[in-house]
Structure 1
Amino acid sequence: MNQKLSPFTILLLVTPPALWAGNAVVGRVISELIPPITLNFLRWAIALLVLLPLGYSVFRQGSGLWANRKRYAMLGLLGIGLYNTLQYIALHTSTPINVTLVGASMPVWMLVIGSLFFGSRIAGTQVAGAVLSISGVLTVLGQGQFSQLLALRFVPGDIFMIIATIVWAFYSWLLVQSTDTEAIRRNWATVLLAQVSFGVMWSGMFAAGEWTLTDAHIHWGWPLALALAYVSIGPAIIAFRCWGMGVQRVGPTTAGFFNNLTPLFAALLSSAFLGEVPHLYHAVAFALIVGGIILSSRR
C-alpha cells in the first residue's frame, strides 16, 4: 500500500469514476422503471452469476471465506448492500449532478474517517489537495461561473448520498485491513465474489422489505434489460475490481481523490449525449482535480 502513482495505478483509479458516472446517469434514467432497492439487488445478483464461473473456488472448504465471514459480511453490507442502495434512492429525488456534487466530499470523509477510526495521520498536502480537487468539481458544476453554483438546490436525496459517501469511505478503509487467505487472494474473482455473495444476501433482504412495505412494481422491457446489463458488469464488477486494486496500491486517502473525477466524466457524458462541445471550464476543472490528486499523493 501507499506506492507511488504509476500509469497502471492511475488507470485503475480513473476507470471506476468513469463507469460510476455512467451509473448515475443510467440510474436516473430508469428510476421510473424499477424501485431503487430492487435495482440494486438485481444488479448484484446478475454480477454474482457472472463471477460464479470465475471464482467458485471461494466456496470450497478451506478457502478462508467462512473463517473471515464477519469481514466479508461487513464489506458486502457497506460496499454492496448499503452504498449502491442509498445512491439509487438518492437518484429518485436528486439529479446526477447533485449526486456527484455530494460524492465530491469523498476525500474529506476519507481523511476524517481514516484519522478517527483507523489511526491514519492527516498531512498538510492531503488537506491542500482536497481543497484543490473539490475546487475542480465546483468548477464543473458551476460551468465556470460562481452564479451557477448559487443556483444549485439540494433535495432529500442529497442527504441519502451524504450517508452513502460516508459508507463508501468506511468500505474503502476496511479493504486495506486485509485478512484474505492465500486461497482467496490468488484469484481476483474470488476476492470480489466473497464480498458479492454476502452483499446479495443483504440487498435481497432490503429488497424484500421494499416490496413488503411499498407499492413496488417493475416495467420490464429492453431499456431496463440493457441498463441492468451495464450496471451489473461495468460499475459493479469492473469498477469494484479496479477500485480494490487501486486502494491496495495507494491507500484509501489518495484513491478517494480520484472519485472527484466522477462529476467531470458525468459532464462529458452529458455533453456527448446532448451533442454539446466541451468548454474551457472542463479543461480548468480537469487541471484542478488532477492537481489535487498529485498534491495529495506527494510524500
Structure 2
Amino acid sequence: MASSPSPAAPATAEPFLPPTLRRNAPLVPTDSAASRSLAAVIAILTFLAALCAGAAEIAATSASEWQGSVAREVTIQIRPGPGRDVEADIARAEALARAEPGVAGTRVFSKAEAERLLEPWLGSGLDLSDLPVPRLVTLRLSESPSADLKHLRAALAEALPGVASLDDHALWLQRLSTMANTFVGVGIAVVALVLVATGLAVAFATRGAMAGNREVVEVLHFVGADDDFIARAFQRRFFGLGLRGGAIGAACAVAAFALAGLMARAWRSGPAGQELEALFGSFHVGWRGYASVLLIGVIASVVTGVVSRLTVRRFLA
C-alpha cells in the first residue's frame, strides 16, 4: 500500500528565523525594551537640562531687571554734625541734585523713615532720637544717561564738605552682576554634564546593540557591507531615539515652566507670591528660555547620533 505523500515543506523558513535575521528586518531593533528605556533616559536627562537652562534664563532676566532699576536710582547721604542744620543741608543737597540735568525726580526720607531703615539690624521699638542717624535723598534718573554723577559728586563735596556723599550703588551692581553670571555659569555647566551623561548612556546602549547584533554585522561584512553602512544604520536608529526622547523631555520642560508661571500668577495676590515676584520677577521664561529648551532637545538628539556612530566605528575597528 502506497504511503501517503509527506506534507509539503513550507515555502520559506523565514518565520523560524530570529527577528534580527528575518527579511526586511532593521539592523537595529526599532521597538524593544532597551530602545524604550534609552528613550526614557534621554527624555529625563533632557528634561533636567532644560530645567537648568530655563532657571538660568529666569535668573539672568531678573538680575537684568534689578540692575536696570538700581542703576536708575542714586542716593545722597546727609550726615548730621554738631552745630549744623540738617534740614538746611538736606534742602541744599536736593537743590543741587534738581539742578543737575538727567535727574527726573528726588525724594527726601524723613527722620522716621531713616530710622525704620535701621530696624532690620537694631530691631524695632528703640529710641534713636539721640543717635546721629544719616538722612537720605534718593534721586531718580531719567531713561537717557545724561546725568553727570561726577559733576554732582564734586558739587556736593564743595557745597557740603564732609556732610553729603553720593552713592551710585556701583558696588551692589557689581555684586549682582557677579551673582547672576555665576548662576548662569553653573546652569551651563550642569547642562554640559547632563549632555555628557546622555552621551555615555548612548555609548553603552550602542555597544549593547552591537553585541546583540554581532551575527548580523558579520553577515553584512560577508556580503560586502562596509563599516560606514553599518555605522549609518546605527546612527539613524539612535538619532531617532534621541529625537524622540529629546522632544518628550523638552515638551515636559515647557509644560513645567508654563505651569509654574500660572501658579505664580495665581499666588501673586498673597504675601508668598509677592516675595516670589520680587525675587524672580514675573517668573516668565521668555522666548530665549523656550528657545534654549528646544535647542537642548535638538542637541540631545544630535549627541545621540554622533556618539552612536563613533561607538560603532570604534567597535568595528
The structure, 1 or 2, with the larger RCO (C-alpha pairs under 8 Å, 6+ apart) is 1
For the criterion TM > 0.5, the same-fold answer is no
* TM-score with structure 2 setting the length: 0.25
Q: Quick check: which has more Rg, 1 or 2?
A: 2
